[in-house]
Structure 1
Amino acid sequence: MDSPNTNPTAEDESQLVSRRIQRLSLHLTPIPNSFIRDHHQLQLLTCARVKLSVNTALLSDFLRGKHRGIQEKVYEYFKSRPDLQTPVEISKDEHRELCMRQLLGLVREAGIRPFRYIVEDPSKYFAIAEAAGSVDMSLGIKLGVQYSLWGGSVLNLGTKKHKDKYYDVIDNLEYPGCFAMTELHHGSNVQGLQTVATFDPITDEFIINTPNDGAIKWWIGNAAVHGKFATVFARLLLPTHDIKGVSDMGVHAFIVPIRDLKTHQTLPGVEIHDCGHKVGLNGVDNGALRFHSVRIPRDNLLNRFGDVSRDGKYTSNLPSINKRFAATLGELVGGRVALAYSSVSVLKVSMTIAIRYSLLRQQFGPPKQPEISILDYQSHQHKLMPMLASTYAFHFATLHLVQMYSEMKKSHDDQLVGDVHSLSAGLKAYVTSYTAKSLSTCREACGGHGYAAVNRFGSLRNDHDIFQTFEGDNTVLLQQVAADLLKQYREKFQGGTLAVTWNYLRESMNTYLSQPNPVTARWEGEEHLRDPKFQLDAFRYRTSRLLQSVAVRLRKHSKTLGSFGAWNRCLNHLLTLAESHIESVILAKFIEAVQSCPEETRVTLKLVCDLYALDRIWNDIGTYRIVDYVAPNKAKAIHKLTEYLSFQLRNVAGELVDAFNLPDHVTRAPIAMQSEAYSQYTQHVGF
């Protein structure tokens, strides 16, 4: 590879001047056909020059896909039942009871049965959960606790006898249940759980005990008020005849009744307390559970990955505690998939409110001219347009994750299981963190009116905030992604097969880590910057450099600090690596969506995709500059083009949020109403 020339020749200067003249001419004259490789590229380059015409209906159909009908059924049900719509002001206890009525109505009156789709068609289940969460986030979470967590644990960790006994009564809400994993002292470190289930061979029962305060099950949804059963995760202890007296077989899941089916009274030995008022999601009744020698039948062990016979012998088709634990958690990965997917729906709602208001609100303008929309200001475009582009990017990435998860549930392919585990961890962490920050930005973008509770940013922000902790703390999940990247990196050099999500690493280790081409580093033409190959190469180059450099650092520090100390020393580097990889996956899936969308929507989606890619590159431009991947003139061109694409996106922002197809009774914010927004807002306060 040629090295950079530090003393430009006259020929170099001539080429530079020629490129600049050529770039200027693109703004002044039509693009000659000789510049265009095919019809699609002509469309894509033209879109930056003209006001786009967006086919909103077609774009909406492409976004919402085959499950649009079931989501509209959810929306229509709640539109027909205004008594079930969540008011702006509501107490904790009232909200809990309303949330339970909402769920009962959805299942028993509207006839929407999410449970059947947990296994049959997970993508349809996630679509129902997304729609329910858009109506009230507490409803979406309560639905998830009942069907994905409590019901899903019975289906995924149990066997036929459990499905035969519990399926119908979970499905029709006769048996509301809980998912009792998290403890006061242990959340992310599930292998460190302290609750114990000791087998008693005399009575053929397990005895569930909470050995200390740190082992109290905490933040358990459905426990405080409505739950009758709980899937309790506990260490399975078997009596032995040696000096230890017991053998610890690791964490297993058990079905434990917690309330009487008829009287709803707390059962003997079970202690339940209310976790109280929370920052958000107060429609979900979180409680704390302590067990005092609670006896359950041996059959209540969810025994798909490990079983205990009548005489107390343990059997499993998996040879070790670690493998059984990994298999157990692998079956519960759907919760992360759901949170990533649902977080995007929260972002859609907030973007719809913020952009519609920003188009409506007028303020200042040229002297003696009408006031202009606040979305016409560059600063406002800078706040909201990259965020809108990210919303679209996340939609396609999480849709891909749902499709992978659905395929995994059908095939049970080991490689796909590992791929879904890592990708769900990364997308859940990345998307929920981004959405949490974006909700505050959207509130600020709506000024004082964004602070009114009726316009929903407060409740959206508070309800969503815990998504960053649900199903694994985001920092912990990103470390899982980084660990998997390093594993794939090692296996690459040992001739192993890379998992689907990591395929690009095979090429990246050879191509992306070569010395940056000094010519390419200076290319600043719009057609080059908007080329998907340049964008994806830039994302993957960054990930590859981060992966290689952190591998070297870990090897160096492990000699003096040990593996744990080295990991901690490099932790921020590892988190950046994981985020960079996830951004690469997001962009790859967005590019694929642009290529596969209806032709009438391609120019618009390409514009959105380009803004997402170039905005991310610009936000991390220092990384590219420090290794000369991007020269100063190219960095400047990226910044200018990002601003221009934001301006172009502003012209179709209303149509792009309309394509989310969220009815007014779902968004519910007066400032986001599609007609007479101000009059509805003033009526709300009594005018």
Structure 2
Amino acid sequence: MLDFQPTPSSLFNPYYSPALKPVLDELVARLHRTFPNYHLQRKATLEAIQFVLNANVLNIHDLKQNPERFFFTFELLGLAGGGSFATALGVQYLLAGGSLLNLASPELCAHYLPDIAKGNLWGCLAMTEVGHGSNVKGIETTARYEPESDQLIIDNFNWVYQNGKLQYWDDEQARYHSLTARKCWIGNSGYAHIGVVIAQLFVPHEGEWVHKGPHAFLVPMRNVVTNEPKAGVSVEDMGEKMGLNGVYNGLIRFQDVRIPRDNLMMHNIVSLSNQGVHQKLVAAPMLSLYSSIQYGRTFIAATSHSLINVNLSILMQMRDSHRLSPNAATLAKWIARTYGLHFAKKHLFQALKQGGNDTLATGMKVLTTEYAHKLLDEMRYYYTSAHSFPVLGHNLEFVFKDWVASCTYEGDNPVIAQKVPGDLLISLMMMTKGFNFSRDVPMIWKMFNQIRPRLWGETPLLEHMQQGCWYLVLALSLKLQSGYDKALSKEEKEAHQARIWNDCQIFIIKMAHLWTALSVLEIFSKEASSHTNEKMRDLAEYMATCVYQEEFVQAFFHSEALKEQYAFQGTDKLTTLLKYCLSKVDGFVPTQASFKRLKEQQSECLQRLVPHFNDFEKELVGQSDFVALLRKRLFTLPEKEVDIDGLMEGMRHLTIWHDLKRGTKAPVSASATDELSLSEPIYSAHLRARL
């Protein structure tokens, strides 16, 4: 492996070094071009990945041993190679390789991981389905254990999990009824030799199939020598997309695919005996299953932050170049966000050594991708509409199309954002363990009075917002538990809570944004407080005002959903407590006076920050060589590769179609087509000369 050490002087990426520069230069040279079709782009992407793996700049074991070095290096490669390269390499190393590291037995890991790391085997993660997307609990693909053969049978054609039960369809019925069970948008599936497949496990018991929930399985998908699909495995190309066309996304069908019992990838999480006895080894197997996805979300958050950093450095360097330059307040907001996300990202990397922080990884994936989306939109407005930088505008379109996909893969943002409040509710249950909400109402009231809303004069703005956020979590918890008849069955109560959750969905997503932004702000504030330079503390303070202005206001604006009428139909103590809690929530709702105070604080802070803009610009740029490399991707037109044969074929059909439409010629015969082809060399030579 290449020997390079971190350089702590740079904010951008501490692991950039001269040893990496030739690799990064080669990636830009290989992939900064316009391909005539997506097949050639896929081929070039795979060749670039193989080049990087041969260069030995990544160690897959660093995912656990030195995650900071791994992710910072991975991030540099992803930015140099572009969106398709970063995604395909992420699927190979983080999803397939990371799943093996986290979930597979030592024997399975030793057998497959070295070849995954070297690129001798290609892998994928088959989780998303047509009917269920990121909803893992609703996945329809099944894995039935057969004790007689000691094998697991993977199927999403004949045997599927639908409407809460195992369903069998014959071949004719399955063509229609199991369409939603197909694995879809699976990256690298077109050439993957193995797949980590998420499926519902069923074991036999007394003549019936017993459901054991979603599990991970390692499924061989292709012959290593011939690359032909294994029996029962079919992959359909999903074709050209708006962006990321260097990634092969496919639809996967499994029909009676048999694998050994040892290919169950839930090591130290569950056990499955050869008699079909299933046993949980941890309290919540699903949380352990998510650990493999955490790597992918961490990488998306890290790379999206660096994309923000590079684009912000461009904004900073061009801020006085024309009349549509962003104002000081806009620049200060993005500078504060970039610094905050940088320190939060490092915190996330360090947490991986202790198993990670999946709640923060999920929240930061959502927050950073949406921030990157917003900044790219702003850059397109400032520079594309001004026609001052036409090349930048041209390339931003390609960057935007690639990176906007990060808002949907590894979990669609509006869907996975709801995991954050769900985890907060679990944390609240742990904090209040031993409390009986319906019995200990006086004790809860006492807790409310101790955690009363306080104004900024009594507490910092960050603490004020954190208190408000936890009040929202408590109010949501009470609403989910109140307002229904205690005589309802467990299923009816769950249906009632699901209805409340869905009715409050926008509020829940906004609360996820607020909690994540506050977590980033808290990490940044702690880092800034240790700095002797006042500008860092001013920057953290400015970020706090921006979080209040956007995430905090949005969450409390949508908290009105907690006051829906049917929530107060009950007369029990919990409903009374909910009303009391919501009255406390009202104490945090921003007022005209609070906005006036916010504007004053923001204006004072901005005046102190503006003189330091040049310093921030230097720190953002960091490694000038690497930033110059990335700016090349944005400020130079990509090299064109022209498919002359395809172009001439299109011209021939277009000419024939126009003649037929005008009625000037009879339908073209074979001889007429031959005559038309005689002129092709002339046109080809002319086109080559021009292009």
Matches within 5 A, 1:446-595: 446=383, 447-449=386-388, 452=391, 456-494=395-433, 513-514=452-453, 516=455, 520=457, 534-551=460-477, 553-554=479-480, 557=483, 562-595=496-529
Gaps of 5+ in 2: 1-5, 158-177, 436-445, 486-492, 557-586, 638-689
Query: Contact (CA 8 Å) 2:271, 2:278: kept in 1 or not?
Result: yes
Q: 1:352 to 1:553 in 2, by over 3 A?
A: same
Measured in 1, the distance between the counterparts of 2:245 and 2:109 equals 31
Aligned partners of 2:553 and 2:590 also within 8 Å: no
Deviation string for 1:521-554 (max 9, x for gaps)? 8xxxxxxxxxxx6232233243244335444554
Superposition deviation, residue 511 in structure 1: 6.0
Deviation (angstroms), 1:163:
1.6
**Corresponding residue for residue 278 of structure 1:** 241
Q: Does 1:172 align with 2:136?
A: no
1:629–1:291 Cα change, 3 Å: same
Q: State how far apart, in whole Å, the 2-side matches of 1:614 and 1:101 are.
A: 47
Does structure 1 retain, via aligned residues, the 8 Å contact 2:336–2:542? yes
Residue 32 of structure 2 aligns to a residue whose secondary structure is: coil
Aligned to 2:374: 437
Separation in 2 of the partners of 1:123 and 1:356?
Answer: 29
Counterpart in 2 of 1:233?
Answer: 198
Match of 1:405 in 2: 352
Of 68, 79, 82, the residue aligned with 1:123 is: 68
- Does residue 391 of structure 1 match 2:322? no
Could you tell me whether the CA contact under 8 Å between 2:141 and 2:200 is conserved in 1? yes
Find the counterpart in structure 1 of residue 541 from structure 2.
610
Q: String of CA shifts for 1:95-140, please: whole Å, max 9, x gaps.
A: 21111111111111x2223312122222222112211211112222
| Per-residue deviation, residues 351-406 of structure 1 (Å, max 9, x unmatched) | 223332334x245xxxxxxxxxx64xxx5333333112211111111211111122
Distance change (3 Å), C-alpha of 1:167 and 1:64: same
Residue in structure 1 matched with residue 220 of structure 2 by the alignment: 257
Contact preservation (8 Å) 2:362, 2:416: yes
- Spell out, residue by residue over 1:478-506, the C-alpha distance to the aligned partner (whole angstroms, 9 max, x if none): 3222123233334434469xxxxxxxxxx
Q: Secondary structure at the match of 2:460?
A: helix
Q: Quick one: distance in 2 between partners of 1:324 and 1:555?
A: 25
How many pairs were matched up? 560
User: Any conservation in 2 of the 1:618–1:638 contact (CA below 8 Å)?
Assistant: no
CA 647–181 in structure 1, closer or farther in 2 if over 3 Å, else same: same
**CA RMSD, Structure 1 to Structure 2 (Å):** 3.3
Match of 2:630 among 651, 666, 670: 666
1:655/1:604 CA distance change after superposition, 3 Å? farther
| Structure 2 residue corresponding to 1:158, chosen from 100, 104, 120 | 104
Q: Which runs of 5+ in 1 are unaligned?
A: 1-56, 364-373, 409-416, 497-506, 522-532, 674-685
Match of 1:215 in 2: 181
C-alpha distance in structure 1 between counterparts of 2:407 and 2:544, whole Å:
24
State the Cα distance separating 1:605 from its structure 2 match: 2.5
Secondary structure in structure 2 of the residue aligned to 1:448: coil
TM-score, normalisation: structure 1:
0.74
* Distance in 2 separating the partners of 1:95 and 1:549: 51
CA contact (8 A) 2:542 2:602 kept: no
One-letter amino acid matched to 1:543: C
Per the TM alignment, residue 145 of structure 1 is displaced from its structure 2 partner at its CA by 0.6
> Which residue of the partner structure matches residue 51 of structure 2?
105
1:192 corresponds to 2:153 = no
CA contact (8 A) 1:389 1:612 kept: yes
CA shift in 2, pair 1:299/1:626, >3 Å: closer
Q: Identify if the C-alpha distance between structure 1 residues 540 and 590 changes in structure 2 by more than 3 Å, giving closer, same or farther.
A: same
- Aligned partner of residue 61 in structure 2, secondary structure: helix
CA pair 298-388 structure 1, distance change in 2 beyond 3 A: same
Q: What is the one-letter code of the residue matched to 2:217?
A: F
Q: Distance in 2 between matches of 1:196 and 1:134?
A: 37
Between the aligned partners of 1:453 and 1:86, the Cα distance in structure 2 is: 14
- Counterpart in 2 of 1:425? 362
- Sort the Cα spacing of 1:75 and 1:206 in 2 relative to 1 into closer, same or farther, 3 A: same
Q: Does the C-alpha gap of structure 1 residues 205 and 509 become closer, same or farther in structure 2, counting only changes over 3 Å?
A: same
User: What residue number does 1:61 align with?
Assistant: 10
| Residue 179 of structure 1: how far off its partner (Å) | 0.8
Given that residues 206 and 297 in structure 1 are in contact (C-alpha distance below 8 angstroms), is that contact kept between their aligned partners in structure 2? yes
Q: 1:327 to 1:407 in 2, by over 3 A?
A: closer
User: Equivalent residue of 1:593, what SS?
Assistant: helix
How far does residue 149 in structure 1 lie from its aligned partner after superposition?
Answer: 0.7
AA aligned opposite 2:421: A
The answer to whether the aligner puts 1:266 opposite 2:229 as a matched pair is: yes
Give the Cα separation in 2 of the matches to 1:466 and 1:632.
35
* 1:187, distance to aligned residue in structure 2 (A): 1.8
- Offset from partner CA, 1:274-296 (integer Å, 9 cap, x none): 11112221111111110122222
Could you say if the C-alpha distance between residues 269 and 477 of structure 1 is closer, same or farther in structure 2, counting changes exceeding 3 Å?
Answer: closer
In the alignment, which of 296, 315, 318 is matched to residue 354 of structure 1?
315
**Higher mean C-alpha deviation, range 624-633 or range 398-407:** 624-633
Q: Could you say what secondary structure the match of 2:10 adopts?
A: helix
Mapping of 1:41-80 within 5 angstroms? 60-61=9-10, 64-65=13-14, 67-69=15-17, 73-80=19-26
